Amino acid sequence: MKKLIIDTNFLLIPFQFSFDIFSEFERIKTEPIQIFVLDKSIDELNKIVREQKGKDKSAAKMALQLVETRADILMTEGEDYVDDLIVSLADKDTIVATQDKELKKRVQKKGAKLIIMKQKKYLSFC
């Protein structure tokens, strides 16, 4: 079973582009996956809820609700940035869902697969 780790920015896609990333994960998967969100990503979403207004705040609130029902929380240690933690966890048995260009490069160097958004309509392996 592969681990699918969702980056914080990816959790906002359903509310920014109006499509269900979890249904898309099911559509494109080629083997069983277990979906994870880092505890630090939850912290980032909570910070958006506390500090932002408008669409971003609403999107973060809804993302937190989605995570509660559709993903497992991966607990991490230390104060590293989410991207650094994702890279440290990435290996050949990991899939990372992100739109972050730099994170994509770093994860691919570690041998992990990527899921990205295409044409603001669907997800694809990269």
| pLDDT greater than 90 at residue 75 | yes
Exposed (0-12), middle (13-18) or buried (19+): which is 41, by Cβ within 10 Å?
buried
Which CATH code, of 3.40.50.1010, 3.40.50.300, 1.20.1250.20, 3.40.50.620, is assigned to 2-125? 3.40.50.1010
Residue 6's pLDDT is what? 98
State both tokens at 95. Answer: 């899939």
Residue 76: other Cβ atoms inside 10 A: 17
| pLDDT greater than 90 at residue 80 | no
Q: What does the pLDDT look like over 38-65, one tens digit per residue? A: 999 999 999 999 999 999 999 999 999 9
Q: How confident is the model at residue 4 (pLDDT cuts 50, 70, 90)?
A: very high
Displacement of CA 121 from its chain's centroid (Å)? 17
* DSSP alpha helix (H) spans, the chain: 8-11, 13-17, 21-28, 39-51, 54-70, 82-89, 101-109
Q: What does the pLDDT look like over 9-41, one tens digit per residue? A: 999 999 999 989 999 999 999 999 999 999 999
What ranges do the domains of the chain cover? Answer: 2-125
Q: Decide which of 79 and 117 is more confident.
A: 117
| pLDDT greater than 90 at residue 79 | no
Residue 97's pLDDT is what? 98
Q: What does the pLDDT look like over 98-124, one tens digit per residue? A: 999 999 999 999 999 999 999 999 999
| pLDDT greater than 90 at residue 66 | yes
